[in-house]
Amino acid sequence: MFSDSNDPYAQGNTLRPSEQQRLDEANQLYEDGKAGQAAPLFARIAEVLTANRQAQRAANLHAQAAQAYAAGSDESAALTQARSALNLFLKLNVEKRTHYFYTSIRKELTRQGMDQAAEALTKEFAARVSPPAPAALSAAARLPANCPQCGAPVRISDAQGLDVSKVECAYCGTPIRPLI
Ligand SMILES: [Zn+2]
């Protein structure tokens, strides 16, 4: 497991204000449906985070860049970013996160008609990405559909992957635990 300093939830913000602004801008563009414009910004911030030795955040940003490039119809850039994300996730040994991204990016690439990129990832990574332990999957399946505190629907975010120990209500922050 990682020490607290590597936990993305415990990290302080290591981006400079100009870089943080670029990240905010990228998130805004992405939310506005301008994925193609957001993608190179995500990719650039991933490079900055790599240089700052923030591997976990860098991997997440590469993953976001891959999703954005896929949505923005740039197959070869999507593949490059997906490779960077997967190689970093594998190096960090975050198995559930790796598997979650591996599955979701191939699904998205296929949905976008980018079959060659999806197949390339399968060829390169299938043997290296181990599926999450059945215990983790069944724990995820046992999460309540709604927050016990405020009733909001429970969503497992991309960043949380299938790590049920880190699921919180997106609205009120109440930790969500699997039902017994
Ligand atoms: Zn709640």
21-31 residue pLDDT tens: 999 999 999 99
**127 C-alpha to center of ligand 1: Å?**
38
**49 C-alpha to center of ligand 1: Å?**
31
Tell how far CA 57 is from the center of its chain.
9
**170 C-alpha to center of ligand 1: Å?**
7
**174 C-alpha to center of ligand 1: Å?**
6
> Does the domain made of 4-131 have the CATH classification 1.25.40.10?
yes
The pTM score is 0.69
**148 C-alpha to center of ligand 1: Å?**
7
Q: What is the 3-state secondary structure (H, E, C) of 52-87?
A: CCCHHHHHHHHHHHHHHHHHCCCHHHHHHHHHHHHH
DSSP annotation of 8 reads T
The pLDDT assigned to 130 comes to 80
Whose tokens are 């995500």? That residue is 42
What is the per-residue pLDDT across 57-94, written as a single tens digit (0 to 9) for each? 999 999 999 999 999 999 999 999 999 999 999 999 98
**167 C-alpha to center of ligand 1: Å?**
11
What are 18's two structure tokens? 């100009």
Asked whether 139 and 166 are in contact (CB, 8 A), the reply is no
What is the per-residue pLDDT across 156-173, written as a single tens digit (0 to 9) for each? 654 455 666 778 888 898
**154 C-alpha to center of ligand 1: Å?**
8
Mean pLDDT over 43-60 rounds to 94
Q: What angle do CA 110, 122, 131 make, to 5 degrees?
A: 105
68, 141, 132, 66: which is closest to 97 by C-alpha?
A: 132
What does the domain layout of the chain look like in residue ranges?
4-131, 132-180
123, 113, 37: which is closest to 75 by C-alpha?
A: 113
**140 C-alpha to center of ligand 1: Å?**
17
The pLDDT assigned to 158 comes to 46
